[in-house]
């Protein structure tokens, strides 16, 4: 695709640029979602103090997710898609994705509900995953108007990525810092509230860096750009704070092998 941009597309007759681009972007989404699901299946039981509600269902759900992804990618090469940028997956497969994600949410949700304890880490991770599932639905709203369709599509593309995905990443980062640094849970989890606040402030306003291109005033470029740049600051602050507290407490890494 990079060579195609500079005019050296020798594979266009075999793999058209639009099919290659759809595969590229959708593989990215598949990879991230499978990572989120795998992390949740590992973290949620540990945080809840109990085994996963339905371990066998997790294998079924993973297999179904992979099957839908492979079917979609193969279909792109045969012209089976919706043609909507970043949401090219055909509509019948959309419904299968919804069913698959509902199985996943039910599995981890009941694990949290029936667990021995509730932690901020597990709750933020769960609600981030739940909101990610709900924000996939606006992209399935049927409409014949291209402008209205683009409006709903950007709910998925940006409020999904710049909003709730940050909650998921915050929960995962919090869990890793607690385990790796040994810093008190209460200290690290306070940063999750900061991340939640930054997510809804910077994530929503950060989408404004696209508004200029649909005819809105030029100041939206500045608003969107500034708040988009603020999004990773809470994650950086959490990591630096945990590492600084670990060094101040004189904690040593317990999983190193003595030579």
Residues 83 and 133 in one domain: no
State yes or no: pLDDT of 258 exceeds 70: no
Q: Residue 255: inside a domain, yes or no?
A: no
The predicted model gives 166-183 an average pLDDT of: 86
State yes or no: pLDDT of 81 exceeds 80: yes
Structure tokens at 258: 């003595």
Residues 107 and 127 in one domain: no
Residues 163 and 76 in one domain: no
CA distances from 243 to 175, 192, 214 (A): 14, 16, 43
Domain around 67 = 12-117
Residue 73 contacts residue 27 (beta carbons within 8 Å): yes
Residue 236: Cβ-neighbour burial (10 angstroms; 0-12, 13-18, 19+): exposed
- Count of domains observed in the chain: 2
Residues 62 and 182 in one domain: no
Structure tokens at 222: 């500045």
Residues 135 and 101 in one domain: no
Residue 76 contacts residue 86 (beta carbons within 8 Å): no
The predicted model gives 108-119 an average pLDDT of: 91
Residues 103 and 213 in one domain: no
Quote the pLDDT of residue 160: 79
pTM: 0.83
Can you tell me the distance from the alpha carbon of 56 to that of 46, in angstroms, rounded to the nearest whole number? 18
Residues 109 and 129 in one domain: no
Which tens digit of pLDDT belongs to each residue from 133-145? 888 888 888 888 8
Q: Is the dihedral of CA 7, 10, 16, 22 positive or negative?
A: negative
Quote the pLDDT of residue 254: 58
Quote the pLDDT of residue 256: 57
Quote the pLDDT of residue 106: 94
Can you tell me the distance from the alpha carbon of 31 to that of 9, in angstroms, rounded to the nearest whole number? 26
Residue 106: Cβ-neighbour burial (10 angstroms; 0-12, 13-18, 19+): middle
Quote the pLDDT of residue 252: 56
> What average pLDDT is seen over the chain?
84
Quote the pLDDT of residue 46: 92
Q: Residue 1: inside a domain, yes or no?
A: no
Closest CA to 79 of 22, 1, 146: 22
Residues 123 and 244 in one domain: yes
Angle between helices 120-134 and 165-181 (to 10 degrees): 160
Residues 113 and 127 in one domain: no
CA distances from 11 to 2, 17, 155, 188 (A): 12, 9, 34, 50
Q: Residue 59: inside a domain, yes or no?
A: yes
% residues pLDDT > 90 (the chain): 25
Residues 46 and 82 in one domain: yes
The predicted model gives 10-33 an average pLDDT of: 86
Confidence of residue 206 (pLDDT cuts 50, 70, 90): confident
Tokens 């997956």 sit on residue = 89
Q: Using H for helix, E for strand and C for coil, what is the string for 211-223?
A: HHHHCCCCHHHHH
Quote the pLDDT of residue 114: 92
The predicted model gives 201-227 an average pLDDT of: 80
């Amino acid at each position: 695709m990079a060579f195609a941009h500079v005019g050296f597309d020798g594979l266009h007759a075999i793999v058209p640029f639009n099919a290659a681009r759809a595969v590229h972007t959708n593989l990215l989404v598949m990879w991230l979602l499978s990572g989120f699901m795998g992390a949740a299946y590992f973290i949620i039981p540990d945080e809840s103090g109990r085994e996963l509600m339905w371990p066998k269902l997790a294998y079924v759900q993973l297999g179904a997710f992979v099957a839908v992804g492979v079917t979609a990618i193969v279909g792109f090469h045969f012209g089976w898609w919706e043609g909507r940028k970043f949401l090219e997956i055909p509509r019948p497969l959309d419904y299968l994705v919804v069913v698959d994600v509902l199985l996943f949410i039910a599995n981890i949700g009941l694990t949290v509900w029936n667990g021995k304890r509730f932690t901020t880490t597990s709750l933020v991770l769960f609600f981030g995953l739940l909101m990610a599932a709900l924000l996939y639905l606006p992209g399935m709203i049927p409409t014949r108007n291209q402008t209205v369709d683009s409006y709903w599509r950007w709910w998925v593309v940006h409020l999904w990525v710049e909003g709730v995905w940050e909650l998921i990443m915050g929960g995962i980062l919090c869990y890793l810092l607690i385990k790796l640094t040994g810093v008190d849970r209460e200290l690290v989890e306070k940063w999750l509230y900061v991340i939640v606040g930054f997510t809804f402030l910077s994530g929503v306003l950060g989408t404004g860096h696209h508004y200029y291109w649909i005819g809105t005033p030029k100041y939206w470029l500045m608003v969107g750009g500034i708040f988009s740049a603020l999004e990773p600051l809470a994650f950086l602050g959490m990591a630096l704070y945990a590492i600084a507290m670990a060094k101040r407490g004189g904690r040593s890494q317990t999983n190193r092998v003595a030579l």
